[in-house]
């Protein structure tokens, strides 16, 4: 069964994740995270399934994150506000997000991919 692979093709981390999946025979459906960002409902599911707080889904090193002053906004925001922001702009989302409908990884750490997708 193919996993959904939200990625941004110019992202170095995404390229590493894609290479790892290709080398390990993981079938995936690539989704351009900027052209087709996850919906609020999908993000709610991914946050729940990952066990991570919503803050961990932000691309804190991204230009858009800095331009919008998200660091300060997140201090006072609730999860619902965070999800709205994430769904509004794929560039705010940490990538890649990989999911099979029950497991979710955010970002690329080889050990996490080994444990989850191999």
In angstroms, how far is the first alpha carbon of the chain from the final one?
12
Q: In terms of Cα–Cα distance, which of 8, 17, 7 is closest to 110?
A: 17
**pLDDT above 90: percentage of residues in the chain:** 99
Round the average pLDDT of the chain to a whole number and report it. Answer: 97
The domain tally of the chain equals 1
Query: The CATH number of the domain where 69 resides is what?
Result: 3.40.30.10
What is the band of 91 on the pLDDT scale with cuts at 50, 70, 90? very high
State how far the alpha carbon of 28 is from the alpha carbons of 7, 9, 23, 97, 110, in Å: 11, 14, 12, 12, 17
4 in Cβ contact with 99 (< 8 Å) = yes
| Stated length of the chain | 118
What is the domain range of residue 95?
Answer: 3-117
**pLDDT over 80 at 1, yes or no:** no
pLDDT at position 79 over 90: yes
pLDDT in tens, 11-67: 999 999 999 999 999 999 999 999 999 999 999 999 999 999 999 999 999 999 999
pLDDT at residue 111, rounded to an integer: 97
Give percent of the chain with pLDDT exceeding 70: 100
Three-state SS letters, the chain:
CCEEEEECCCCHHHHHHHHHHHHCCCCEEEEECCCCCCCHHHHHHHHHHHCCCHHHHECCCCHHHHHCCHHHHHHHCCHHHHHHHHHHCHHHECCCEEECCCCEEECCCHHHHHHHHC
């Amino acid at each position: 069964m193919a996993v959904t692979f939200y990625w941004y093709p110019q992202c170095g981390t995404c390229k590493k994740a894609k290479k790892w999946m290709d080398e390990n025979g993981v079938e995936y459906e690539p989704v351009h995270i900027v052209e087709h960002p996850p919906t609020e409902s999908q993000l709610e599911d991914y946050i729940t399934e990952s066990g991570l707080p919503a803050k961990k889904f932000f691309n804190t090193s991204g230009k858009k994150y800095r331009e919008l002053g998200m660091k300060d906004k997140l201090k006072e925001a609730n999860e619902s506000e965070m999800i709205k922001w994430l769904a509004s702009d794929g560039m705010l989302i940490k990538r890649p997000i990989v999911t099979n409908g029950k497991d979710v990884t955010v970002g690329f750490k080889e050990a996490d991919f080994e444990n989850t997708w191999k």
